[in-house]
Chains A and B, each alone.
Chain A
């Protein structure tokens, strides 16, 4: 490969706190009537002042801890000044030189290997309002809804360590999994709870230094387009480099309809943000003991759970990965294992059942599931003879089907399984009947 991609990521995660970052308005804005979740603070009315949400700060630090970051014992908010109609105060309250969390790392899968991605910083800020483009009275206008304005955001910035779209996707999935485990965000990309801005450039293979340009890509609003957008941009840059041009350092937007990235000059004009310490918010000083307390209070994270499921329950990596993907499923599995113990079920049986049957965990309780598994295995143990009798009887009475099967129409086995079921009038696992039927049919 002539060029190696150099990709860094900024991910914004919207927290699911009750109230907004700096005021008491409800942060649950999705799908609500426009401008019904605003107050003087998040609407940027004259004279209104911010007061920081304690829970949001705690959750920001938890995310930092889960990403192995150092937590700043002295931190503060800063104003990031720029003009945009969705930014009511003309500045965003963010963090500049003293973010809550810095210098972390996360390991992700890259092909068959694992790879460590550096986390530059994790900081807290507030969301903007939402712009909708519309035509009113035959004129193009933009409409603004400030319900989202001031909802707490955590920005997670990585080092430029990614070398492919695949790695980026693995990272995003893992990050999504972590914040869901922490129960601090729904991290639903389609709903905008998780937003991604990659910085993309290419360097010559063997180059030690970073490229002298980078292109920021905005508007990737869906998991489905991460790969397409990144690969499009990599290809575009490669083509430029091939004809001897250096791609322009700029902000580009992903156009979902056209499936291309496009220059966004409007977003670039004001890139001198004139940060300065937010005078309305006193600084934050944390005791190490408080940080330790938060760290000890973290739930078991996906990585740890994955290892434990493999060692404690003797599961394969594949099974453990599926079962730990979502914390609800992992908890369900562990509960079933616990009640299954008394019924002499082993974790592997339970894992198979959950994975293969795609058990609906909202409808079937762990106790019920354990009962079902037990019934299945007990039946085969106790009544194998009876089952074999039933099979023989069915085969005897259905010569045509047997003949069809033997002549290659193997799908008739479904019909035969049904008859065996009817004959025994027991809830027997299809697989077991099928195995025994096949054995009997192959006897000739």
Chain B
């Protein structure tokens, strides 16, 4: 199993240092190697379990609840400007 570490890091929005790349590649390869043992399991016709609650159709009625105040919403922001969160310019 060859992992394209740079591509995965880009998808994950992580910037890796050179030494991290190599280290991660080795570790991930070893973990994926271990995971290979799942191939031994016959899962033909087995359904997937993504939840264990057996709950279905959990919905809320369409009414409003109070929102946070603007100052609270922005209280942990790194940068803010006139009620907005601010980030470096995004090129469209």
Tell me if chains A and B make direct contact, with any CB pair below 8 A: yes
Looking at the assembled complex, report how far the CB atom of A412 sits from the nearest CB atom of chain B, in whole angstroms: 60
Closest A residue to B65 by beta carbon equals A24
Contacts of A141 in B (CB 8 A): 81, 86-89
A55 at interface, CB cutoff 8 A? yes
A397 CB within 8 Å of chain B: no
Quick one: CB contact mask for A268-288 with B, threshold 8 Å, 1 for yes? Answer: 011010101101011111100
CB contact between B58 and one of A52, A84, A219 (< 8 Å): that residue:
A52
Binds B, one of A130-138, A226-234, A356-364: A130-138
Q: Mark B45-61, 1 if CB is under 8 A from A, else 0.
A: 00000110101111111
Bound complex: CA A394 to CA B62 (Å): 67
B35 within 8 A of A: no
**B64 near A24: Cβ-Cβ < 8 Å:** yes
User: A36 near B67 (CB under 8 angstroms)?
Assistant: yes
Among B20-74, those with CB < 8 Å from A are: 50-51, 53, 55-70, 73-74
Chain A hits for B92, CB < 8 A: 133, 219, 253, 264, 266
Q: At the interface, yes or no: A83 with Cβ under 8 Å from chain B?
A: yes
Count of inter-chain pairs, beta carbons less than 8 A? 136
The residue of chain B having its C-beta at the shortest distance from the C-beta of A19 within the complex is B64
In the complex, are the beta carbons of B51 and A35 less than 8 A apart?
no
Q: Please, which residue of chain A has its CB at the minimum distance from the CB of B84?
A: A143
* A83–B63 CA distance with the chains assembled, in angstroms: 30
A37 vs B73: C-alpha distance in the bound complex, in angstroms? 9
Bound form: Cα–Cα A219–B50 in Å: 36
What range describes how many residues of A lie at the interface?
A: 35 or more
Which residue, of A23, A143, A285, A286, has the highest number of chain B Cβ atoms within 10 A? Answer: A143
Contact, CB under 8 Å: A136 / B67: no
- Tell me the dominant secondary structure on chain A's binding face: loop
Q: How far is the CA of A33 from the CA of B55 in the complex (A)?
A: 38
Chain A contacts of B57 at CB under 8 A?
A: 282, 284-286
A269 contact set on B, CB distance < 8 A:
10
Q: Which residues of B contact A113 (CB under 8 A)?
A: none
A158 to B28: give the CA distance in the assembly, Å.
41
Expressed in whole angstroms, the minimum distance between the Cβ of A238 and any Cβ of chain B is 26
Chain B, interface size category, equals 35 or more
Q: Which of B10, B50, B59 has the most CB of A within 10 A?
A: B59
Q: How far is the CB of A421 from chain B (nearest CB, A)?
A: 55
A367 within 8 A of partner (CB): no
A31 to B77, CA, bound (A): 22
Is A186 an interface position by the 8 A CB rule? no
Which residue of A is nearest B59, CB measured?
A54
| Contact assessment for A36 and B69 in the assembled complex, using a CB-CB cutoff below 8 Å | yes
Distance (whole angstroms) from the CB of B73 to the closest CB of chain A? 5
Judging by beta carbons under 8 Å apart, are B83 and A35 in contact? yes
CB distance from A97 to the nearest CB of B (A): 11
Q: Considering the complex, which residues of chain A in the window 131-163 have a beta carbon less than 8 Å from any beta carbon of chain B? A: 131-134, 136, 139-146
User: Any chain B CB within 8 A of the CB of A56?
Assistant: yes
Q: Which of B53, B60, B87, B91 has a CB less than 8 Å from the CB of A51?
A: B60
Flag whether B11 is at the interface (Cβ < 8 A): yes
Task: Tell me whether A282 and B81 are in contact (CB under 8 A).
Answer: no
In the complex, are the beta carbons of B51 and A282 less than 8 A apart? yes
Within 8 Å CB of B58, what residues of A? Answer: 51-52, 281-282
Pick from A24, A142, A279: contact of B50, CB under 8 Å: A279
Bound: A38/B74 CA distance, A: 10
Which of A57, A90, A142, A274 meets B59, CB within 8 Å?
A57
Contact of A18 (CB < 8 Å), options: B53, B64, B74, B88: B64
Contact with B along A14-34 (1 / 0, CB 8 A): 000111000111100000011
Known contacts A140-B89, A145-B84, A283-B51; A17 and B62 CB within 8 A of each other: yes
A43: CB under 8 A from chain B? yes
- Cβ of B19 within 8 Å of any chain A Cβ, yes or no, is no
A241 within 8 A of B: no
* Interface core residue of B53, B83, B87, B90 (most chain A CB under 10 Å): B90
> Are B89 and A26 within 8 A (Cβ)?
no
Give B contacts to A, CB under 8 Å.
10-11, 13, 50-51, 53, 55-70, 73-74, 81-92
7 contacts between A and B (CB under 8 A): A24-B64, A34-B84, A84-B90, A85-B87, A141-B86, A144-B84, A279-B51
Name A's B-contacting residues (CB within 8 A): 17-19, 23-26, 33-40, 43, 51-57, 76, 83-85, 90, 131-134, 136, 139-146, 219, 253, 264, 266, 269-270, 272, 274, 276-277, 279, 281-286
